[in-house]
A and B are shown apart, each in its own frame.
Chain A
Amino acid sequence: MMKNWWKWICLLLLMYVIIVALVVPLVPGGESVNITALHPGLQRVEITGYNTHFMQEEENLQCYVSVGKTWVKGQNITVLSETQAAFDLILPDTLPEKNIGFYANTHYDGTIFLSTAMRMEGFVFDANNPWKGDSITVQNEEQQFFGFPFQPNLFETIRNLMFHVPMWFTMFFLMTISFVMSIQAMNQKPEKDLKAAAAAEIGLWFCALGLITGSVWARFTWGAWWNKDPQLNGAMVVFIVYATYFILRKSVQDEIKRARLSAVFNIFAFILMILLLMVMPRMVDTSLHPGKSGNPAFSKYDLDSSLRLVFYPAVIAWGMLGYWMYQWQTKVNQYKNEEHEG
Chain B
Amino acid sequence: MKARLRSLFFVGMLSFITTAAQASSWEMKMYENGKISVVYWVVAIVIIGLSIKITLLNLQLKREKRKHHS
Contact = CB atoms under 8 A, between A and B. Distances in A.
Contact of A219 (B31, B35, B68): B31
A71 interface: no
Given A335-B68, A336-B64, A155 B34 contact: yes
B38 A160 contact: yes
A45 B18 CA distance: 46
Contacts of A22: 39, 43
Contact of B45 (A159, A213, A321): A213
A209 interface: yes
Contact of B46 (A202, A209, A335): A209
B49 A205 contact: yes
A157 B68 contact: no
A248 interface: no
A339 B41 contact: no
A170 to B, nearest CB: 10
25 contacts: A155-B34, A156-B35, A156-B36, A157-B34, A159-B39, A160-B39, A163-B42, A163-B43, A164-B42, A205-B53, A208-B49, A209-B45, A209-B49, A212-B49, A213-B42, A213-B45, A213-B46, A216-B38, A216-B45, A328-B58, A329-B57, A331-B64, A332-B60, A335-B61, A336-B64
B58 to A, nearest CB: 8
A167 interface: yes
Nearest to A225: B27
Interface in A205-224: 205, 208-209, 212-213, 216-217, 219-220
A325 B35 contact: no
A285 interface: no
Interface of B: 27, 31, 34-36, 38-39, 41-43, 45-46, 49-50, 53-54, 57-58, 60-61, 64-65, 67-68
Contacts of B36: 156
A167 B27 CA distance: 24
Interface bin, chain A: 20 to 34
A115 to B, nearest CB: 18
A138 interface: no
A217 B34 CA distance: 10
A146 B61 CA distance: 45
A220 B57 contact: no
A332 B49 contact: no
Contacts of A328: 54, 57-58, 61
Interface string A157-169: 1011001100100
Contacts of A216: 38, 41-42, 45
B46 A332 contact: no
